[in-house]
Structure 1
Amino acid sequence: MADSVGDGLDRALEGAFTRPIPKSAQAQMKYLVKQLKGTRPVAELLGVSQRTVERYVKGQLKRPRRDLAMRMEREVKKRWQPQVRARARQKAASTDGLVVSTRARFGFTAAPGTTDDARIRDITQALPPVYADRLFTAREQGATERQLQQIAAEGLAQMYFRANDTRAQGLGVEFTDVEQIEIEL
């Protein structure tokens, strides 16, 4: 299963949570209703009827279908502990940076005669705060997965392949076929 840079960023921020998200369907639905200020916006967000949302809030319905349960959990996680999430993002973007662990296809554009054939590589590399800031900012501004991959590729090229410009100056790196990616703060 292919993974995405955007999902990796979201999981990294979720790792900073100080409390677990609500577990029961009723608690999750109540939280969403409170956050979105009403049952109608929650119903539209989750793709269910307003009456269904009301039944979950009252506890009349307890076990959502698997797809609805996954949507509810994802929407709760997006909104859970916004200040904790913001602090973790700020710390990564200003002082700590982040660590990217990936298994993906990397190819190169370099001088003639070099081995620039793309191949699958497993790479774990710390990226400085400037790349963390660029990734989080792009994610918040609705960047596509391809744009996020490009920023990650620039960071990996700079820090891993060019060793922070101590070797292989001018080496261009292509980052495709992401099989797995984990991002840690």
Structure 2
Amino acid sequence: MGIFRDSVEKATANTFTRPLPKTPQAQMRFLVKTAKGTRAAADVLGISQRTVERYLTGQIKRPRAELAARLAEEVRRRWQPRVRARVRQKAATTGGITIETRARFGFTAAPGSTDDARIRLITQHLPPHYAARLLDAHTAGATDQQLQDIAAEGLQEIYFKDRGQRAPGLQVAFTDIDYIELDF
């Protein structure tokens, strides 16, 4: 995954109303329930059906590190889908999304302006139509660069152009992301 995809997933995970199952046995039980069977859960994890059954009965208590990571990721991905959908819908229709980032911003602007790229720390709330575009692209499997371009366009219009009040013709380049965090 990329930095933007991870940020969207982390923001979504912060909205969960119940904690994720902690033990491998509880995680496996949840995965078997959502995958609708031990065979389907085994296929998702790339292990045998018998191994899944051993986790369910408690014969195996500690998975290998690689399997533990895959199991935790699958559980996180399937956890509380209705809560996840409700939060995304609210962000896309009424709430918007807040981006906090430290990255290099450069500009293409009128001659005589300072267009040298520099590192900036920006925290900006983007309106719902940018949140909708970002979340729809994420759901459709957009690349990190495509998500970055949508965020750059939103920051350009809202932060740098002040919703079209200044800097007509300004084009923002959003590169060298140190970190980015999203919040619904």
1:3 CA displacement = 6.3
Match of 1:26 in 2: 25
What residue ranges of structure 1 are gaps of 5+ in the alignment? none
1:112-138 Cα shifts (integer Å, max 9, x gaps): 232222222111000000011111111
2:108–2:170 Cα contact (<8 Å) kept = yes
Match of 1:59 in 2: 58
Match of 1:9 in 2: 8
Match of 2:167 in 1: 168
Alpha-carbon separation, structure 1, partners of 2:102 and 2:20 = 29
Sort the Cα spacing of 1:41 and 1:174 in 2 relative to 1 into closer, same or farther, 3 A: farther
Give the letter aligned to residue 145 of structure 1. D
Sort the Cα spacing of 1:177 and 1:67 in 2 relative to 1 into closer, same or farther, 3 A: farther
Aligned residue pairs, count = 184
Give the 5 Å matches for 1:32-111: 32-111=31-110
2:91–2:128 Cα contact (<8 Å) kept = yes
Sort the Cα spacing of 1:91 and 1:58 in 2 relative to 1 into closer, same or farther, 3 A: same
2:2–2:144 Cα contact (<8 Å) kept = no
Root mean square deviation of aligned Cα = 1.6
TM-score w.r.t. length of structure 1: 0.93
Sort the Cα spacing of 1:61 and 1:94 in 2 relative to 1 into closer, same or farther, 3 A: same
Alpha-carbon separation, structure 1, partners of 2:144 and 2:175 = 11
2:108–2:115 Cα contact (<8 Å) kept = yes
Match of 2:178 in 1: 179
Give the letter aligned to residue 12 of structure 2. L
1:25–1:56 Cα contact (<8 Å) kept = yes
Deviates more, 1:81-90 or 1:169-178: 169-178
